[in-house]
Amino acid sequence: MQPTIVSRKDWLAARKALLAKELEMTHALDNLRAERRQLPWVRIEKGYVFEGSDGKCSLLDLFGDHSQLAIYHFMLTPGSDHICPGCSYTMDHVDAARQHFEQADLAFAAISRAPIKRIEQVKARMGWSFPWLSSGDGPFNYDFGVSFTEPDRAAGRARYNYDKTKIQNSADMFGVSVFIRGGDGDIFHTYSTYHRGTEPADGRLQLARPGPQRPQ
């Protein structure tokens, strides 16, 4: 679509009209984020175990000295040569900003089902430094709605993004899950988001001219 060419005066009037909408959206987002912080928590009862470059570790280990933990569910499927370009672009942003997360008491790690050897190959190729671990054959990815068994996909039972999307052709999808550690060492799941919910981590989408509208 070709843009409309106008005078500076007309552009300024149109820009101010859009600014009013942007301010309204900003205030609505402030309210939404406040409501998000009030979501109830779910106690983690399973002892999830991951494999990292230094061996086995637990979900609790990933917190380090921090009280909060964000997990990026990176699409890297066992036996596949495909590396998700969207996940990769997001991780370029996160790896550069991770020090700021940690200063705000937030630990970060990525989790995939691929073997740790494959993860280390991709990590070295991309020059990333964030913790990236393998959940292997464990239940973590399935419990948090980003991996799907072949029988479930074949039967149409595989659902993603809180049942909004039926998954048939992909064994793994992407998302973000957030956890909090209690003072007694208990871990609580506080939030997960999928699909377009991960866009705030991708600065390109905030600045670049948008393409066709993507589905929610």
How many whole angstroms separate alpha carbon 168 and alpha carbon 22?
A: 37
How many whole angstroms separate alpha carbon 90 and alpha carbon 88?
A: 5
Question: pLDDT tier at 2 (50, 70, 90 boundaries)?
Answer: confident
Nearest to 171 by CA among 199, 138, 146: 146
Q: Which residues contact 162 (CB under 8 A, 6 or more apart)?
A: 145, 194
Q: Do residues 51 and 134 make contact, with C-beta atoms less than 8 angstroms apart?
A: yes
Domain range annotation of the chain? 8-37, 42-205
CATH architecture type of domain 42-205: 3-Layer(aba) Sandwich (3.40)
Q: Which amino acid is at 11?
A: W
Least confident range of 162-176, 179-193, 198-212 = 198-212
Q: Is 188 helix (H, G, I), strand (E, B) or coil?
A: strand
Has residue 214 got a pLDDT over 50? no
Q: Do residues 163 and 134 make contact, with C-beta atoms less than 8 angstroms apart?
A: no
pLDDT, tens digit, for every residue of 53-111? 999 999 999 999 999 999 999 999 999 888 999 999 999 988 888 888 888 999 999 99
How many whole angstroms separate alpha carbon 170 and alpha carbon 146?
A: 10
